[in-house]
Amino acid sequence: MTDDKTTLPQTSADTPSGSPLGLAERGYSGVIQHLSAGGAGSALSDVELESRLIELGFVEGAKVEILHEGIVGRDPIAVRVDNVTIAVRRREAMAIIVA
């Protein structure tokens, strides 16, 4: 399935550091650096994906932790964002750059 292709988002000059949450393992915890919908390869448009992520609380500075993952391709993942748990697919989580 195409979902398994997890290409790294293009890191351009304005994206200083960090790696996508979509590649992180279960148990990872970190802080959101920025959102970069461009390289995520989601079916949603960049603006739409970024908007939805913000609406679910994925904003810069939020603490995230991967609590659980699914059985097929370790996907989707359950992410603790501050005090809420959100399930997302790894593909969409590629847009969340953490460190």
Partner 1 sequence: MEAPLLHLALVGTPNSGKTSLFNALTGSRQKVANYPGVTVERKEGFFVTPLGRQVSVVDLPGTYSLRGRSPDEEITRDIVLGKASGETRPDLVLCVADSTNLRLTIRLLLELKRTGRPIVLVLNMFDIATRRGITVDVTQMADALGVPVVTSIAVRKGGTADLLKLTDEISAGVAPQPQENNWRPLSVAELRATQREADRIIASTVSLPSRPDTWTARIDAVVLHPVGGLIVLALILFVMFQAVFAWAQPLMELLSSSFDALGQFVHDTLPAGLLQSFLQNGVISGVGSVIVFLPQIIIIFLFILLLEDFGYMARAAFLMDRIMGGAGLHGRAFIPLLSSFACAIPGIMATRVIDNRRDRLTTILIAPLMTCSARIPVYTLIISAFIPPKQVWGFINLQGLVMFGLYAAGIISALLVSFLIKFFMLRDYAPAPFMLELPDYKMPRPKSIAIGIFTRAKMFLQRAGTTIFSMMVLIWFLASFPQPPAGAADPAINYSLAAILGKAIAPLLAPVGFNWQIAVALIPGMAAREVAVAALGTVYAIEGGKEAAEQIGQVLATKWSLATALSLLAWYIFAPQCASTLAVIRRETGSWKWMATTFAYMLALAYAASLVVYNVAVALGAG
The yes or no reply on residue 21 touching partner 1 (CB under 8 A) is: no
The yes or no reply on residue 51 touching partner 1 (CB under 8 A) is: yes
The yes or no reply on residue 13 touching partner 1 (CB under 8 A) is: no
Q: Which is nearer to partner 1, 20 or 92 (CB)?
A: 92
Query: How would you write 11-80 as a 3-class SS string?
Result: CCCCCCCCEEHHHCCCCCEEEEEEECHHHCCCCCCHHHHHHHHHHCCCCCCCEEEEEEEEEECCEEEEEE
Q: Are 41 and 51 in contact (CB under 8 A)?
A: no
The yes or no reply on residue 57 touching partner 1 (CB under 8 A) is: yes
* Contact residue for partner 1 among 91, 94, 97, 98 (CB under 8 A): 91
C-alpha angle 10-75-72 in degrees, rounded to nearest 5: 130
The yes or no reply on residue 31 touching partner 1 (CB under 8 A) is: no
Using CB under 8 A, list all residues that contact partner 1.
Answer: 1, 3, 42-44, 47-57, 59-60, 67-76, 78, 82-89, 91-92
